[in-house]
Amino acid sequence: MTSDAKGWTKFGWQGINMDIPADWSLGAISGDKKEGYLRLDDADMPRMEVKWRDAQKGTPALPDVVQKYLDDLVKVVTKKKVDIKTENGFDISKIVRPLPDRDKVIQGFYWKSSTKAYGMATFCRECRRIVILQIVSPIDTDVRTLISRVFSSFEDHAIGGADLWAVYDMNFKVPSEFHLKDQKLMPGYLQFSFTREDDSFALDVERWGLTDVLLRELTVREWYEGQYASRLKGNKVSFEEVELHDHTCFKVSGETGRWFHEWRLALEKLTRSKTPTHMHSVFWHCEESKKIFVVNMADRDPINAIVSYVASHVKCHENETE
């Protein structure tokens, strides 16, 4: 979703978020919250790369971190028989105003080859993350204003105890105790599967497109009951209509049946693991965006505040009532 008339949007992944041009999209991802990599592309070329990892004890020497990054880059470029010029210690404050918060150590850098890039490495004293990010552009393009906006808005950890996830026009928050376990990023369908550190009880956030087809002959409740029939089977389920995001939403609660309860007790005794006893969902059809949004979680609590929290922090369309 664009955040203003100039075509900017918010991007968020693994606790890292920033403003980016609306025509940039996720081109590659790897790793997890402790260490990973992502790349953002526009229609013509890769535009931004971000690498992160948790730091060891003490304060890392960012000039050394940047130098290794540039040395590795030089090795790759020179194998292609292309010249490259690098500068470790470029004063990024000449471009980026204001700089990210003062709790960070920052080291700027620059390189120029067949394209050019301005970048910075940061170390946050609070979350102890080392992040390297760079913006790439054609040689003859002035990107100083763009770089200032992106880098100034950069954040490397959650604010208020919840991580922002924003990609492919999907924007929502999940409590930081949950970690991304898997994702499906397909045209017409997005799914983000989260779990806690102890791998207990999955939380799924989903978005379905093509609602003109999915809901051609069905209400959204009829569609949900068909799509998630296996999830609902064997549960004592109740549906409640609630208002959310200027829409009528359905809040679903279910408890496992007696046969499953007996099987669960036997399994827990055998494996010494906990299995869910309740399922919770919130789902709705956003006519403005022509999407269906579903938040699902299975746990052992008859009352689940997490599903309601996540559902209330999904941005399903522009200019919705807060």
Q: What is the DSSP string of 57-89?
A: SS---HHHHHHHHHHHHHHHHHHTT---EEEET
Cis peptide before 302 (omega within 30 of 0): no
Residues 175 and 59 in one domain: no
Question: What pLDDT does residue 181 have?
Answer: 94
Domain final residue pick, 89, 119, 152: 152
β-partners of residue 254 are 237, 279
Q: Which residues pair with 248 in a beta bridge?
A: 243
Residues 170 and 266 in one domain: yes
pLDDT the model gives residue 295: 97
Give the whole-angstrom CA distance, residue 36 versus residue 116. Answer: 23
Q: Token pair of 60, please?
A: 């890392």
Predicted local distance difference test score (pLDDT) of residue 288: 93
What is residue 235's predicted lDDT score, i.e. its pLDDT? 78
The pTM is what? 0.89
CATH number of the domain enclosing 223? 3.40.1000
Same domain for 17 and 137, yes or no, is: yes
Is residue 14 within 8 A of residue 21, CB to CB? The reply is no
Question: Helix, strand or coil for residue 192?
Answer: strand
Are 293 and 231 found together in one domain?
A: yes
Q: Could you tell me if 146 and 14 lie in one domain?
A: yes
Q: Is residue 322 part of a domain?
A: no
Residues 197 and 263 both lie in one domain: yes
Same domain, 7 and 138: yes
Any domain includes 318: no
Mean pLDDT over all residues of the chain?
89
At 97 the pLDDT is 83
Claim to verify: residue 207 and residue 122 sit in the same structural domain: no
Query: Residue 317 domain-assigned?
Result: no
Phi-psi group of 305: left, alpha or beta (phi > 0 → left; psi -120 to 50 → alpha; rest → beta): alpha
Q: Does the residue 195 lie in any domain?
A: yes
For residues 142 and 272, state if they share a domain: no
Whether 60 and 130 have beta carbons less than 8 Å apart is answered as yes
Residue 305 CB contacts under 8 Å (≥ 6 apart), including other chains? none
Distances (CA, A) of 189 to 13, 126, 182: 18, 35, 14
Do 85 and 168 sit in the same domain of this protein? no
CB 247, CB 292: distance < 8 Å: no
3 state SS of 35: strand
Q: What is the pLDDT of residue 34?
A: 95
Question: 306 and 192 in one domain?
Answer: yes
> Range of 186's domain?
162-312
Residue 42 and residue 24 in contact, taking contact as beta carbons nearer than 8 Å: yes
- Of 100, 130, 152, the domain-final residue: 152
In a domain, 321, yes or no: no
Q: Rounded to whole angstroms, how far apart are CA atoms 122 and 159?
A: 17
Q: Would residue 284 count as lying in a domain? A: yes
Phi, psi values for residue 11, rounded to 5°:
-115, 140
Among residues 121, 152, 183, the one where a domain terminates is 152
- What is the pLDDT at residue 272? 56
Low-confidence ranges of the chain (pLDDT < 50): 1-5, 258-261, 263-264, 321-322
Q: How many domains does the chain have?
A: 2
Same-domain check for residues 147 and 197 = no
Residue 164 and residue 156 in contact, taking contact as beta carbons nearer than 8 Å: no
Q: Rounded CA gap, 214 and 12, in Å?
A: 28
pLDDT score, position 236? 84
- The reported pLDDT for the residue numbered 322 is 44
